[in-house]
Amino acid sequence: MRVDQATASRASAKRRAPAWPTPDALRRIGRTPLVPLARLQARFIGVRLFAKLEWANPGGSVKDRAAASIIADAEASGRLRPGMALLDASSGNTAVAYAMIAAAKRYRAVLCVPKNANPRVQALLRTYGAEVVATDPLEGSDGAIREARRLAAERPDEFLYVDQYTNPANWQAHYRTTAAEIWDQTRGTVTHFIAGLGTTGTFTGTTRRLKELHPLLQAVAVQPDAALHGLEGLKHLASAIVPGIYDPALPDETRFVSTESAYAALQDLAQAEGLFAGSSSGAALAAGLDLAGELSGTATPATIALIFPDAAAREAASGLSTSLPGLARQPS
Ligand SMILES: Cc1ncc(COP(=O)(O)O)c(C=O)c1O
Domains and CATH numbers, the chain: 24-57+176-321 (3.40.50.1100), 63-161 (3.40.50.1100)
Closest CA to 284 of 302, 312, 267, 261: 261
Task: Select which of 52, 61, 63, 281 is catalytic.
Answer: 63
What local confidence, expressed as pLDDT, does residue 13 receive? 42
The answer to whether residues 195 and 223 touch, using CB atoms and an 8 Å cutoff, is no
Which residue, judged by its Cα, is nearest atom 12 of ligand 1?
233
Q: How far is the C-alpha of 61 from the C-alpha of 206, rounded, in Å?
A: 16
Check if 224 has its Cβ closer than 6 Å to any atom of ligand 1.
no
Predicted local confidence at residue 108, as pLDDT: 96
What is the pLDDT at residue 21? Answer: 55
Amino acid identity, residue 307? I
Report pLDDT for 305.
99
282 lines ligand 1 (CB under 6 A): no
Low-confidence ranges of the chain (pLDDT < 70): 1-22, 319-332
Answer yes or no: 63 catalytic.
Answer: yes
- The closest alpha carbon to 158, from 87, 95, 100, belongs to 87
- Give per-residue pLDDT as tens, 26-63: 999 999 999 999 999 999 999 999 999 999 999 999 99
Active site residue 235: no
Which ligand 1 atom is at minimum distance from the Cα of 309? 3
Separation between Cα atoms, residue 124 and residue 111, nearest integer Å: 12
Cβ 234 under 6 angstroms from ligand 1: yes
Closest ligand 1 atom number to CA of residue 279: 1
Ligand 1 atom closest to the Cα of residue 92 is 16
Q: What is the reported pLDDT for 22?
A: 67
Is residue 261 within 8 A of residue 284, CB to CB? The reply is: no
Q: What is the model's pLDDT at position 314?
A: 74
pLDDT at residue 159, as a whole number: 97
With beta carbons less than 8 A apart as the criterion, state whether 232 and 279 touch.
Answer: yes
8 Å CB contact between 39 and 294? no
pLDDT at 321: 59
Pick from 109, 50, 83, 98: nearest CA to 273: 50
